[in-house]
């Protein structure tokens, strides 16, 4: 086999291996359309890291994928502010730049991605908050996972149907047959005048007629 043919074979093999990791990642994307928010911080709802991993990690294990996480840089700064109670508080704002690398354990193929995130918390927790935030949102954004229960792309969204308003039927004064049926039903305690008004459009003339019949 010539060197040219060998090179072509190697390139083809590498291309097929490269396709394999993307097919596996696509499988995860296809299986998770959306995740409803399950946690709350102050007045803001969000999808917890536990819920994200609970849905994605089993698929990663099944497909033989691992996600390697590397911190490339960390920038910490002190944040001083006053609580609504008037008490002074200090926290650490951590800004991290990270590299997330998907690794296919079958082929050794990799897919590298750079991602940045911030996290603010007590002195010893700022970095942890940033790392947790980075992992959660990298996964959500990489797989285009909707996080709003009302998002139309979310398969888990609540299906809420708009109430159907019943159309009222107009009663004319010359429709004595219908009017008398209403009167008879009310007299027999099978219906009330309020129920009739909910079903029919009753003008003043018809209303007065019904009242007169009921008081006879």
- Give the pLDDT confidence of 92-146 residue by residue, as tens digits: 899 999 999 999 999 999 999 999 999 888 877 888 889 999 999 999 999 998 8
Question: How high is the pLDDT of residue 95?
Answer: 93
User: Once rounded to an integer, what is the mean pLDDT over residues 151-173?
Assistant: 48
Percent of the chain past pLDDT 70, that is, above it, reads 74
Residues 48-60 as b or e (16 or more Cβ within 10 Å = b): ebebbeebbeebb
Angle, helices 204-214/176-187, rounded to nearest 10 degrees: 40
pTM for this one? 0.59
Rounded to whole angstroms, the Cα distance separating 109 from 22 reads: 10
Question: How high is the pLDDT of residue 169?
Answer: 62
Say which residues have a Cβ less than 8 Å from residue 203's Cβ, sequence separation at least 6. 171, 173
Per 3-state DSSP, the chain is made up of helix, strand and coil in percentages (nearest 5) of 40, 25, 30
Percent of the chain past pLDDT 90, that is, above it, reads 35
Residue 164 has pLDDT above 50, yes or no: no
Domain ranges of the chain: 3-142, 169-214
**Where do we find the tokens 């990642």?**
25
Question: How high is the pLDDT of residue 26?
Answer: 94
Domain topology for 3-142: Enolase-like; domain 1 (3.30.390)
Two structure tokens written together for 21? 């990791």
Beta-strand relationship, 44-46 and 65-82:
unpaired
Residue 59 has pLDDT above 90, yes or no: yes
Q: Confidence class of residue 10 from pLDDT cuts 50, 70 and 90?
A: very low
Question: How high is the pLDDT of residue 4?
Answer: 55
Q: Confidence class of residue 190 from pLDDT cuts 50, 70 and 90?
A: low
């Amino acid at each position: 086999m010539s060197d040219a043919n060998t090179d072509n074979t190697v390139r083809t093999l590498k291309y097929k291996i490269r396709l394999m990791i993307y097919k596996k990642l696509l499988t995860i994307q296809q299986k998770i359309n959306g995740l409803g928010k399950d946690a709350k911080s102050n007045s803001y709802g969000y999808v917890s890291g536990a819920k994200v991993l609970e849905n994605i990690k089993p698929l990663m294990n099944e497909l033989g994928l691992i996600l390697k996480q590397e911190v490339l840089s960390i920038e910490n700064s002190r944040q001083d502010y006053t609580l609504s109670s008037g008490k002074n508080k200090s926290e650490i704002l951590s800004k991290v730049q990270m590299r997330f690398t998907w690794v296919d354990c079958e082929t050794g193929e990799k897919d590298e991605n750079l991602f940045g995130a911030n996290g603010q918390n007590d002195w010893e927790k700022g970095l942890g908050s940033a790392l947790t935030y980075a992992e959660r949102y990298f996964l959500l954004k990489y797989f285009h996972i909707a996080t709003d229960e009302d998002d139309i792309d979310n398969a888990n969204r609540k299906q809420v149907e708009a109430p159907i308003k019943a159309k009222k039927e107009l009663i004319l004064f010359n429709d004595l047959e219908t009017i008398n049926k209403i009167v008879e039903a009310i007299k027999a305690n099978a219906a009330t005048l309020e129920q009739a008004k909910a079903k029919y459009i009753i003008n003043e003339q018809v209303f007065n007629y019904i009242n007169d019949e009921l008081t006879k």
